[in-house]
């Protein structure tokens, strides 16, 4: 269970709307031992605004639920190494986590993340950002997570979808807040 919650939290890359039609659409399923997570989200902000939040690793802990620290360990051109820590919560249970990830950026279009240290066997993700229109960013997130222990399938829908959805909603709120005050 700890690993499942961790996997949902460290998948932050990497978004809220109050209308049901603009909420992130989250799918999570197992393919053998690998948990596949896909998010499709239209955010009413421009691509620059979406990119600024998705890559704000130094301040991510200020607007992401369950994230207690987020820092850049090293940076070389469009390559970063980041470390994030936090506590995943599920009801009365709390599960601390830590991850170190290598991030590759293709400015304003793609974020590739690979976990190099953490509480799951592996986690690789991609976030793609496109302009749906001049004022709407289309974010597509895909992650492949190999937990280090068995996770019951029924938890996939209830925990993973909920946690990933909360993360993207939080990023969306921050994107809209910045755009309104920008």
- Beta carbons within 8 Å of 82's beta carbon, 6+ residues apart: 57, 70, 71, 72, 73, 100, 101, 103
pTM metric for this prediction:
0.85
CB atoms within 10 A of CB 134: 7
Pair of tokens at residue 108: 């304003």
**Residues spanned by the domain of 141:** 2-181
CATH of the domain at 115: 3.30.530.20
Each residue's pLDDT tens digit, 26-60 = 999 888 889 899 999 999 999 999 999 999 999 99
Each residue's pLDDT tens digit, 100-139 = 999 999 999 999 999 999 988 999 999 999 999 999 999 9
Provide the number of structural domains found in the chain.
1
Under the banding of pLDDT at 50, 70 and 90, the label for residue 170 is very high
């Amino acid at each position: 269970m700890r690993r499942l919650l961790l996997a949902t939290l460290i998948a932050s890359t990497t978004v809220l709307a109050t209308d049901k039609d603009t909420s992130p659409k989250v799918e999570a399923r197992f393919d053998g031992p690998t948990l596949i997570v896909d998010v499709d989200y239209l955010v009413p902000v421009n691509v620059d605004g979406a990119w600024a939040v998705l890559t704000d690793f130094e301040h991510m802990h200020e607007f992401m639920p369950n994230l207690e620290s987020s820092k850049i360990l090293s940076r070389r051109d469009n390559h970063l190494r980041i470390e994030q820590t936090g506590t995943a919560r599920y009801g009365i249970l709390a599960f601390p986590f830590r991850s170190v990830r290598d991030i590759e950026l293709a400015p304003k279009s793609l974020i590739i993340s690979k976990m190099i240290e953490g509480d799951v066997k592996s986690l690789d993700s991609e976030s793609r950002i496109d302009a749906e229109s001049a004022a709407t960013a289309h974010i597509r997130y895909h992650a492949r997570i190999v937990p280090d222990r068995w996770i019951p399938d029924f938890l996939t829908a209830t925990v993973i979808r909920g946690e990933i959805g909360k993360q993207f909603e939080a990023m969306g709120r921050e994107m809209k807040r910045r755009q309104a005050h920008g």
